[in-house]
Structure formats: structure tokens, C-alpha cells
């Protein structure tokens, strides 16, 4: 075993890795929440939106046209914003997990800001 840092830590701006880690963190968070009639749907919605951020970024990265790239980035924006909403709802439904939800909410917000900037930057191109 070497002391070499993993590639994601050497490349902090690797959005594919960052969005994958976000999805993984949400899956881990969701698995710790007690499933009740209230949380069941919220958990499903959160996992769907949070994991879609990375999937859509991968599609954007492989886009065949500027139009397709822009569309996929807009989906990343929407899914990250939706993730913030579901995290807020889960924090209300399971207050014992509020701190963890808040940390993930902050990451979803940062991702949303990043994808918003990318989307705006590609508007005139």
C-alpha cells in the first residue's frame, strides 16, 4: 500500500467523482433512516434525485452536441435542487438525522450552484 492519494483527492474539480460521491453519501444516509409510512416515499425520492445528478453529469460529459450537453446540465441543476428539497423534508420527518441531512443539503446546494454556472456559461456558445 502506498501513501499516494486517490485520484479524486488529487482532482478536486472532477465533477464525475464528486457527483458519484454525493450519490453514495445519500444512499448511506438514506439507509440509516427508519422506514415509516412518512419517510418511505421521501427516501425513495431523495435517492432517485441524488443519484440522478451523477448519471446526468456522465451523460452531459459524453454529449454529442452542445444542445444535448446543455440539456443534461439543466437536468443536473434540477436534480440537485430537488435533492435539497427532499433532504429538507427528511430532516423534518426524521429530526434525529437533521445534522447529516444538513451536510448533504450543503453539498446539493454547491452542486446546484456549479451546474447553474455551467449552464449559464454555455448559453451563448
pLDDT tens for the 125 residues of the chain, in order: 344 445 445 445 799 999 999 999 999 999 999 999 999 999 999 999 999 999 999 999 999 999 999 999 999 999 999 999 999 999 999 999 999 999 999 999 999 999 999 999 855 44
Query: DSSP E strands: which ranges in the chain?
Result: none
Q: How far is CA 68 from the centre of its chain?
A: 20
Place of cell 458519484: 20
What is the chain's length?
Answer: 125
The model's pTM? 0.85
pLDDT at position 2 is 41
Upper half-sphere CA count for residue 43 (Cβ side, 13 Å): 16
State how far the alpha carbon of 75 is from the alpha carbons of 27, 65, 68, 96, in Å: 20, 16, 11, 31
Residue 17 CA to residue 74 CA, distance in Å, equals 19
Residue 93 CA to residue 91 CA, distance in Å, equals 6
Amino acid at each position: 500500500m502506498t501513501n499516494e492519494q486517490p485520484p479524486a483527492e488529487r482532482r478536486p474539480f472532477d465533477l464525475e467523482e464528486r457527483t458519484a460521491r454525493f450519490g453514495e453519501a445519500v444512499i448511506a444516509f438514506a439507509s440509516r433512516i427508519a422506514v415509516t409510512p412518512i419517510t418511505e416515499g421521501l427516501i425513495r425520492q431523495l435517492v432517485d434525485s441524488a443519484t440522478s445528478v451523477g448519471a446526468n453529469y456522465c451523460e452531459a460529459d459524453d454529449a454529442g452536441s452542445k444542445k444535448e450537453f446543455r440539456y443534461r446540465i439543466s437536468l443536473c441543476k434540477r436534480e440537485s435542487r430537488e435533492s435539497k428539497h427532499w433532504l429538507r423534508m427528511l430532516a423534518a420527518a426524521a429530526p434525529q438525522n437533521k445534522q447529516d441531512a444538513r451536510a448533504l443539503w450543503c453539498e446539493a446546494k454547491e452542486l446546484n450552484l456549479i451546474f447553474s454556472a455551467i449552464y449559464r456559461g454555455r448559453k451563448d456558445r
